[in-house]
């Protein structure tokens, strides 16, 4: 059980939820541990729907943030989401985990390309915060795709990370904006070969990590294979943390 701390609106219909990461038991205080990219099962008492009383959410915070664990979630009309949304400080959530295999290999020195569709960017939020603390890392480029500008997540945070660590670069693109304001510094359109050619010197060199909806992941993987990327260099995860 972890106590709820607060929630913050971070984009249209999207909130970050914070839970106290310090467990308080008979053995004293211990910090709940996890690795970047992992996820947890959260169980909340509510009028259960067909999906039951539990959901799986990817951890968006870094393991270095010792005081809390954070999830960023789109809020839809469901009894579970309503219960989560109305939690008050001190209310407790029952967690199981951490779980998940979508992790960077230890001592991996290959250049990396992260590709995220929408809310699927959350595991990369954890990974980039974690990796930005390292002085020596292989080059990383994150392509983050969102339909509309008001749905974009972590724009300012990723900008600060890129300034802090020159080996980390983040490219945003909007796929459904008819008119883009002149101050928009990202791209428009879907992640494509053309965008890769603009930002990657050799598309065959990096290892690719792709997260998003099932449809998004399938489309990106098909594109990568068409470009001749070795399938062994493509890691994917259908993101279910909605």
Q: What pLDDT, in 10s, does the model give residues 130-173?
A: 988 887 889 999 999 999 999 999 999 999 999 999 999 999 99
| Cβ atoms within 10 Å, residue 207 | 19
Q: Which two tokens stand for residue 14?
A: 């999207």
| pLDDT at site 242 | 47
The per-residue pLDDT for 72 is: 96
Q: What is the token pair recorded at 29? A: 């205080």
Q: What single-letter DSSP state applies at residue 16?
A: E
Rounded CA-CA distance 225/126 in Å is 27
pLDDT the model gives residue 102? 74
Contact 34, 97 (CB under 8 A): yes
Would you state the pLDDT for residue 46? 67
All domains in the chain, ordered by first residue: 2-99 (2.40.30.10), 112-238 (3.40.50.80)
Q: Distance (Å, rounded) from C-alpha 5 to C-alpha 113?
A: 33
Per-residue model confidence as pLDDT tens for the chain (242 residues): 899 999 999 999 999 999 999 865 545 566 678 999 899 999 987 666 667 788 899 999 999 998 999 999 998 777 888 899 999 999 999 999 899 877 777 667 889 999 999 999 999 999 999 988 887 889 999 999 999 999 999 999 999 999 999 999 999 999 998 788 888 989 999 999 999 999 999 999 999 999 988 898 999 999 999 999 999 999 998 765 44
Distances (CA, A) of 11 to 14, 134, 136, 225: 5, 29, 32, 33
The Cα–Cα gap between 82 and 74 comes to 11
Q: What are the CB-based long-range contacts (under 8 Å, 24+) for 47-52?
A: 47/79, 48/79, 49/78, 49/79, 49/80, 51/78, 51/80
Count CA atoms within 13 Å of residue 183 on its CB side. Answer: 1
Q: Which two tokens stand for residue 135?
A: 């002085």
Q: What is the pTM of this model?
A: 0.90
**DSSP assignment string, 109-145:** -S-EEEEEEGGGGHHHHHHHHHHHT-SS---EEEEEE
pLDDT of residue 26: 47
- In three-state secondary structure terms, 233 is helix
Contact 8, 16 (CB under 8 A): yes
């Amino acid at each position: 059980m972890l106590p709820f701390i607060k929630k913050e609106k971070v984009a249209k219909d999207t909130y970050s939820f914070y839970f106290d990461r310090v467990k308080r038991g008979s053995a004293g205080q211990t910090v709940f541990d996890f690795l970047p990219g992992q996820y947890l099962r959260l169980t909340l008492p509510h009028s259960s729907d067909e999906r039951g009383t539990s959901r799986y959410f990817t951890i968006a915070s870094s393991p270095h943030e010792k005081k809390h664990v954070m999830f960023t979630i789109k809020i839809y009309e469901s009894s579970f989401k309503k219960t989560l949304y109305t939690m008050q400080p001190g209310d407790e959530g029952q967690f199981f985990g951490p779980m998940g295999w979508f992790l960077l290999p230890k001592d991996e020195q290959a250049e990396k390309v992260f590709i995220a569709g929408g809310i699927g960017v959350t595991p990369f939020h954890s990974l980039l915060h974690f990796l930005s603390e390292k002085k020596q890392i292989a080059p990383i480029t994150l392509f983050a795709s969102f339909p509309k500008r008001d749905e974009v997540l972590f724009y300012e945070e990723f900008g600060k990370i890129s300034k802090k660590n020159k080996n980390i670069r983040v490219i945003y693109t909007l796929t459904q904006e008819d008119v883009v304001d002149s101050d928009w510094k990202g791209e428009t359109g879907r992640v494509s070969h053309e965008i890769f050619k603009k930002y990657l010197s050799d598309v065959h060199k990096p290892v690719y990590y792709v997260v998003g909806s099932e449809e998004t992941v399938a489309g990106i993987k098909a594109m990568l294979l068409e470009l001749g990327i070795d399938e062994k260099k493509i890691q994917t995860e259908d993101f279910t943390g909605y």
